[in-house]
Chains A and B, each alone.
Chain A
Amino acid sequence: MRTLLFRSIFKGPATIEGPDAGPQAVRELVKSLDDLSRRVLGRSLAIREVDAGSCNGCELEVHALNNPIYDLERFGLKFVASPRHADVLLVTGPLTRNMRMALERTWRATPDPKWVVALGDCACTGGLFAGSYACEGAVSEAVPVDLRIPGCPPPPIEILKGLIALMDAASRTGTAARIGRPAGLPARE
């Protein structure tokens, strides 16, 4: 083990250079952040991942963000265990009916200001599962979505681009509590 540790120290990092935020992602963000007033978070976002019916393919690529190649945390992005610690809900899957309540509760447990990122084709539109008796389709059916990252699954680099764009926009424009609540969603429990 010692040789491996030494080698790792002298070899330098395996980590790749960070990507710029994709232009498409930026455009979508600027739009979604327009109605947010000011509060600077600094360059840091805490992310809570919620699988709302995914095939687990999207999760695999989200996991990859934590590996030393992408090393998400160097950007100030961090996955957290509780929605109460989160700024961002990263939601995957075609929102199954059986997961809707859990997603809504998670959303309500997340303090304002907060953003929702729909990750993967399923979360964006329902994907191949749209129209099923067991799915709601897009995640936006239940919670307001600020950013969509399509792909099946989106590769880690695309997820990273989207999240960096979200964070840049958040620290540039500042943020504030989202007041609007999606139709049909009861008040905070």
Chain B
Amino acid sequence: MAGLKRITLDAAAWAERAAALGRGEGELFALFGDDGQVHMVVREPELGALEMLTVAVENGRYPSVGAQHAPAIRLERAIRDLFGYEPEGLPDTRPWLDHGLFKLSAPLGAAGAPRRQEDYPFLPVEGEGLHQIPVGPVHAGIIEPGHFRFTANGETIVRLEQRLGYVHKGVETLMRGAALDRAAQLAGRISGDSTVAYQYAFARAAEQTLGVKPPARAIHLRALMAEFERIANHFGDFGAICNDASFALIHAHTGMLREQVLQTADACFGHRLMRDRIVPGGVTHDLTEEGAARVRALAVEIAPRFAELFEIYDSTASLLDRTVTTGITSAELVKRFAPGGYVGRASGRKFDARQDLPYAPYNKLSFKVPVLTAGDVDARVRIRAEEIRTSLSLIGQILDALPEGELRAELPAAKEPREGMAVVEAFRGDVLMYLRLAADGTVARCHPRDASWFQWPLLEAAIEGNIVADFPLCNKSFNCSYSGHDL
């Protein structure tokens, strides 16, 4: 990524940067541990570029960012669990990913004996007439596991507290010491719905690290796959949100649209989710002329069918009654947490990595990033709908510009320790990938940061004051990744 700077700060300067974030100066993009140090990635809205800051961990401690800037709290609880570092001043020191069941404690740090399992203290609630509803980790529907603790007053939710970490698989530890191709495969299994985006980000980070430029054809095919993935997921979400409002008709039709996209992906790239198609250096599968024609035909066919479905959404009062003014995410919280994707864009944060941290081929394509301010379920639906239209147009543009040529560039040996970082816009928001290679070319440290980290906490806020029955609707409109967050 052009313009990545990494600056090592002393503890005082680090704490000052954290305080600046707390004052609203800049946005926190990532915060993660490393060998003997902690990194934070921030974006200055005026400059636009990302900046990476590093502080040394001394005697197992470093100054907490979460103490000054709430969005960092869960990230630092994860650092405590995985590295055993103590963020000094962290207001919430309950474990987050480590439920006391891992074979090791601090697997990325000192890797000691397992932590003892203790009861997890949920935040206390007091008040007359309040009752609690614990839900999960196993939910009624076919969704990922997580625990939600609702405190309700009658039907109205006064607080939601999430507990996550159930699908923590130790991805970062598995990546450490892995060869590049195995790490790339792992990257594609962090969040299945974003397998293209993750492998896209991993490949770009690896290429930046090794100073390789993938062939132009590969660059375009990657974007094509990424837009396919975006459309498929948005169809799925749009239908599922309507279904959660008991409107099955749209769900049935978007289900078919999604299926058509996946079948086309399968026919063109040999995998319905296009997994393991993007690799460091390029792509593994070419698009035949026949395939390109099929993709074009699909885009032409889908557009009016989707338009018709959206028209139904937009003119069905009983459906809008469920989505409009439900689950509002305030612009103020969005400014603080800087969530990516439709969660941010439905509440006035116009950030899209394809435009704001531009990467090829998007820098040569023309598209608008939709932004709304209502911040409710309806706004998140409308952002998705607009993004489907945009992606359909992008697919046409990519095919028009698709150059002939190679699919993969040769990767040079690392020879010395190197690092790189990439941000890719997945359907739910930006995926950040930090990668450091050892001199022998194996992965020394890889940190994939899912968009969900900054979205999950906002769901807790958005549901406040809504009725319990509207939770599935709100949850679906966020559609945060459990696996991408838990890692």
Verify that A and B bind, or say they do not. yes
Residues of A within 8 A of B (CB): 1, 4-5, 14, 49-64, 66-69, 79, 81-83, 93-94, 96-102, 106, 127-129, 131-135, 152-153, 155
9 A-B contacts (beta carbon < 8 Å): A4-B309, A54-B167, A54-B192, A93-B167, A96-B169, A101-B101, A128-B189, A134-B168, A135-B170
Additional A-B contact list (11), CB under 8 Å, known A4-B312, A59-B142, A81-B141: A1-B316, A51-B145, A54-B167, A55-B192, A69-B256, A69-B259, A96-B167, A99-B166, A102-B166, A133-B173, A134-B170
Cβ-defined contact, B252 with A67, below 8 A: yes
B185 at interface, CB cutoff 8 A? yes
* Bound complex: CA A93 to CA B272 (Å): 19
Which of B169, B191, B255 touches A134 (beta carbons < 8 Å)?
Answer: B169
* Bound complex: CA A57 to CA B194 (Å): 9
Which of B173, B249, B273 touches A132 (beta carbons < 8 Å)?
Answer: B173
Q: Chain B residues near A97: list those with CB within 8 A.
A: 99, 101-103
Indicate whether A57 sits within 8 Å of B193 (C-beta atoms), given known contacts A67-B255, A132-B173: yes
Nearest B residue (CB) for A5: B249
* Bound complex: CA A93 to CA B103 (Å): 18
* Bound complex: CA A79 to CA B185 (Å): 31
Cβ-defined contact, A67 with B258, below 8 A: yes
Cβ-defined contact, A129 with B192, below 8 A: no
Q: Chain B residues near A62: list those with CB within 8 A.
A: 142
Indicate whether A56 sits within 8 Å of B138 (C-beta atoms), given known contacts A97-B102, A98-B165, A132-B173: no
Cβ-defined contact, A57 with B195, below 8 A: yes
Cβ-defined contact, B185 with A153, below 8 A: no
Q: Chain A residues near B262: list those with CB within 8 A.
A: 64
B107 at interface, CB cutoff 8 A? yes
Q: Chain A residues near B102: list those with CB within 8 A.
A: 97, 133-134
Cβ-defined contact, A63 with B142, below 8 A: yes
Indicate whether A56 sits within 8 Å of B316 (C-beta atoms), given known contacts A64-B262, A98-B165, A134-B169: no
* Bound complex: CA A139 to CA B217 (Å): 41
Nearest B residue (CB) for A65: B142
Q: Chain B residues near A58: list those with CB within 8 A.
A: 192
B483 at interface, CB cutoff 8 A? yes
* Bound complex: CA A57 to CA B144 (Å): 10
Residues of chain B from 237 to 262 with CB closer than 8 A to chain A in the complex? 249, 252-253, 255-256, 258-259, 262
Cβ-defined contact, A64 with B193, below 8 A: no
Cβ-defined contact, A133 with B107, below 8 A: yes
B215 at interface, CB cutoff 8 A? no
* Bound complex: CA A14 to CA B253 (Å): 10
Indicate whether A132 sits within 8 Å of B170 (C-beta atoms), given known contacts A55-B190, A57-B195, A63-B142: yes
* Bound complex: CA A133 to CA B170 (Å): 7
Cβ-defined contact, B256 with A99, below 8 A: no
Q: Chain B residues near A53: list those with CB within 8 A.
A: 166-167, 169, 483
Q: Chain B residues near A98: list those with CB within 8 A.
A: 99, 101, 165-168
* Bound complex: CA A5 to CA B247 (Å): 13
* Bound complex: CA A132 to CA B178 (Å): 13
Cβ-defined contact, A1 with B186, below 8 A: no
Q: Chain A residues near B104: list those with CB within 8 A.
A: 133
A62 to chain B, nearest CB (A): 6
B302 to chain A, nearest CB (A): 14
Q: Chain A residues near B249: list those with CB within 8 A.
A: 1, 4-5
Cβ-defined contact, B137 with A99, below 8 A: yes
Q: Chain A residues near B140: list those with CB within 8 A.
A: 81-82
Q: Chain A residues near B171: list those with CB within 8 A.
A: 129
Cβ-defined contact, B138 with A133, below 8 A: no
Which of B144, B165, B259 touches A56 (beta carbons < 8 Å)?
Answer: B144
Cβ-defined contact, B259 with A64, below 8 A: yes
Cβ-defined contact, B145 with A135, below 8 A: no
Cβ-defined contact, A68 with B275, below 8 A: no
